[in-house]
Amino acid sequence: MGRPPLVAILAAFNEADIIGAAVEHLVRQGAHLYFLDDGSTDGTVEAVRAAAGEKLIGWESLAGPEEGPVRPFQWSRILERKAVLAASIDAEWFIHQDADEFRESPWPHLS
């Protein structure tokens, strides 16, 4: 794969009900995806893999081995990892994407 023009970096926890539609929308817009799973137990990872297909350039679990099944949400940890990824992945543009977010161009003829 050559250098992707756009990579969405998306983190989620138990978003299986919506994440597939959000990822499919990104792919239709030409985005590639790097996924950070925050310990989902509801099929979120499988939904992302199915929706992204070959546009999924990477994924990882943010849950550490020392953490139990329930832990507090740590926004700074997610943002720090996204910043490291944006600095290390070779792409032209990045989107900081939420699991239930749909982005649309204000110009109907442009994605």
Provide the percentage of residues in the chain whose pLDDT is more than 90.
64
What's the pLDDT at 109? 84
Tell me the pLDDT tens digit for each residue of 39-49: 899 999 999 99
Q: Identify whether the C-beta of residue 18 lies closer than 8 Å to the C-beta of residue 100.
A: yes
Read off the pLDDT of residues 75-108 as tens digits, 9 standing for 90 and up: 899 999 999 999 999 999 999 988 888 887 788 8
Q: What is the pTM of this model?
A: 0.87
- Which helix (H) or strand (E) covers residue 7, if one does? strand 6-12
Rounded CA separation 11/1 (Å)? 23
User: For residue 95, what are the β-bridge partners?
Assistant: 8
Residue 96 is predicted with a pLDDT of 92
Banded model confidence at residue 19, pLDDT cuts 50, 70, 90: very high
